Amino acid sequence: MLQGIVNFIQTYRFIVIPFGVWFGIQLFKLLYDLVTTKKFNFKRIMQAGGMPSSHSAVVVALTTMIAKTEGIHSPLFGVSLIFSFVVMYDAAGVRRAAGKQAKLLNKIVETPGLTGVEVSEKLVEVLGHTPIQVFVGALLGLIVGLIV
């Protein structure tokens, strides 16, 4: 049984390890949220944003694993590296800006007398990451990728 699990992880390591990194970071965020707010928010496991960036950790872990296996001169490493930069740029840039806009729109809608708009739910404000959250996520991904 245990040998079967080990074989599965080894065979599908380029899927299992990054997924495990993502799950571990999201679980950490859920538990951190529980400790700091004293409220259990299971949705936190699927939400984006926060410290560290699981997106960055996943893509950097995968890129590091590819570098170790295929070498840094392989086309697959090149594709993975560019993909990693795009994901990290998006996390710290586009999605972070969208989160700031959501926060402002929520504030506008909640201001009495400013709009006549009735909203049933707030926009999600924590979408992206600060550069330090992206950096820490990338560092975690690098460490996991080097260890595995």
Cis peptide before 18 (omega within 30 of 0): no
- Residue 134 falls within a domain, yes or no? yes
Determine contact, residues 103/127, Cβ cutoff 8 Å.
no
- Residue 106 falls within a domain, yes or no? no
Take residue 57 and report the two structure tokens written for it: 């950790």
Stated pTM of the model: 0.78
- Residue 59 falls within a domain, yes or no? yes
**Per-residue pLDDT at 41:** 79
Question: Which residues of the chain fall short of a pLDDT of 50?
Answer: none
Number of structural domains, the chain? 1
**Per-residue pLDDT at 83:** 96
Range of the domain at 19: 2-93+128-147
- Residue 139 falls within a domain, yes or no? yes
**Per-residue pLDDT at 115:** 62
- Residue 72 falls within a domain, yes or no? yes
> Cα dihedral angle (57, 59, 65, 71), rounded to 10 degrees?
-130
- Give the CA distances from residue 85 to residues 18, 33, 91, 93, 140, in Å, rounded to whole numbers and listed in that order: 16, 28, 10, 12, 15
**Per-residue pLDDT at 96:** 66
**Per-residue pLDDT at 76:** 97
- Residue 132 falls within a domain, yes or no? yes
